[in-house]
Structure 1
Amino acid sequence: MKVVFIKTPTGAAENAILEGIYQLRARIFQDRLNWRVSVIGGRERDRYDDLDPNYIVVLGNADDVIGAARLLPAQGPTMLEETFPYLLQRGHLEAHPRMVESSRFCVDTRTRTTMNGLLHEATLSLFAGIIEWSMSAGYNEIVTATDLKLERLLRRVGWPMQRLGEPRLIDQVESVAGVLPADDASFRNVKPPGYQPITAFSPMPARSQKCR
């Protein structure tokens, strides 16, 4: 398992990762959670994917997509302010240059075991990757919308969220908006054993074949 980031795909391998992200989102948000999302050809994507976001991705041994999150500058168009403004106390996001939005967070929890009886290894790795990338890009706060169950788990692993409004029901899920710190203490709290520093995605080298 490794954590990577990609932005604008530049080759077939990166495009394959992006397709894997969209397919995972369709399986999680439509098939498992039954959210009202747009899925075409087994791919879930929306207009925020057209804004040149960064994607933090957890990959398996064969570069299969296990988890992903989308990051966009909070001062630009964001899902929280434009799609879910009712989660914000004042109806708008008070963003600043060092704030980034995380959205479309999803993990295929069928592929790995849980750790400490709390969170999936890939989930912790994705948390750590989001924090690490955010700090390296100059951000110190991460704004997001999540459900109350994940909010409680974030608190348990030492990454508590400061709410930006009261919980609201979205697609039968109690959801809440909040701000998370992007700092060294949070990174140390969430990163699982064996976590390797996040890198830009580099495709696996092709295996050499020997003639017989």
Structure 2
Amino acid sequence: MAHVQIINSSNSHLFEDLLEQTYRLRHQVFVEERGWRDLARPDGREIDQFDDEAATYLIAVDGDRVVGGQRLYPSTRPHMMSEVFSHLVQRDLPVGPDIVEVTRYFVAKERRFGRTDCMMLAAVMEYCLDEGISAMTAVVEMWWLPRWQQAGFVTRPLGLPVEIEGQDCLAVEILVREETLARVSRLAGLKGSVLRRTGLATDEAALRLSSRQS
């Protein structure tokens, strides 16, 4: 059964193959499929300056194969919205220890618009609740908004749409809510958590999870 593995600097040595698959699948999705040529690399690995020790990855795995993923990054450090897409933000950019940026969301082509997509949305909401995160920021194509609305995501625009790579894109803030996790979990047909914390020190997160469930 597919699950979502949390990977950060403390356990990345255990999951070098999953990270390598992730970078190559990102190249396939963003460069080869979507035509984001500025991200192209001759080694076929899509990787940038934010794939560093501060990044956390939520990687969907089926068997030993990566089928989806997303990257979370602290808003308290220079991040993609503050450094690359600041022109999309026309109000105060949400930053703080309880706010993360979500980037590089992808699902393998044959898994889109199905259970894997909803599972990934549930995973990021569950992770943020477990970690005490109150909001996420993201730059997304406009077609994401009705999908998020269906999944129960509560969003706030941070500016007006701007065309990027032929798509109207928007900077948004996404509120982290228990109700959203419950709704998207139902859509995904999930009976419990899909997150795996193999190799992580999870004492604080486990305490928060226990308090949420009590």
Same fold (TM over 0.5): yes
State the shift of 1:54 in Å: 0.6
State percent identity of aligned pairs: 24
**Counterpart in the other structure of 2:189:** 193
Distance in 1 (CA, whole Å) between partners of 2:12 and 2:47 is: 20
Deviations along 1:158-202, one digit per CA (max 9) or x if unpaired, are 113211110111111111110111121111111211354112247
Distance 1:158 1:95, change over 3 A: same
| 2:125 counterpart of 1:127 | no
Alignment match, 2:7: 6
Give the counterpart letter for 1:189 in structure 2. R
What is the match of residue 46 of structure 1? 48
The equivalent of 1:64 in structure 2 is: 65
After TM superposition, list the pairs within 5 Å mapping 1:43-192 onto structure 2: 43-60=45-62, 62-90=63-91, 93-110=93-110, 112=111, 119-191=113-185, 192=188
Partner residue, 2:31: 30
Give the drift of 1:12: 6.1
* Cα-to-partner distance string for 1:66-109 (whole Å, 9 max, x where unaligned): 1111001112111111111111114x623122111101111113
Write the distance in 1 (CA, Å) between the matches of 2:10 and 2:33.
Answer: 28
2-structure distance, mates of 1:121, 1:48: 28
Instruction: Provide the secondary structure at the position in 2 that maps to 1:23.
Output: helix
The letter for the 1-side match of 2:160 is E
* Structure 2 contact 115–189 (Cα < 8 Å) conserved: no
1:93-140 deviation line (CA, Å, top 9, x unaligned) = 231221111011111131x3x6xxxx3211111111111111111101
Q: Go from structure 1 to structure 2 and tell me whether the alpha carbon gap of 1:187 and 1:160 turns closer, same or farther (over 3 Å shift).
A: same
| Paired residues of 1:147 and 1:176 also in contact (CA < 8 A) | yes
Q: Does the aligned pair in 2 maintain the 1:9–1:15 contact within 8 Å?
A: no
Match of 1:208 in 2: none
Structure 1 unmatched ranges of 5 or more:
203-212
Secondary structure of the 1:134 match is helix
**Count of matched residue pairs:** 194
Using the size of structure 1 for normalisation, the TM-score is: 0.85
- Unaligned runs of at least 5 residues, structure 2: 200-214
Equivalent AA in structure 2 for residue 87 of structure 1: L
Name the amino acid aligned to 1:14: F
Which structure has the larger Rg over C-alpha atoms?
A: 1
Equivalent position SS for 2:6: strand
Compute the displacement of 1:10 (Å): 4.6
C-alpha distance 30-11 of structure 1, shift in aligned 2 (>3 A)? closer
Instruction: Say if 2:9 and 2:53, in contact at 8 Å, map to a contact too.
Output: no
Higher helix share: 2
- RMSD, aligned α-carbons: 1.8
Cα pair 1:54 1:72 within 8 Å, conserved:
yes
Q: Which moved more, 1:30-39 or 1:192-201?
A: 192-201
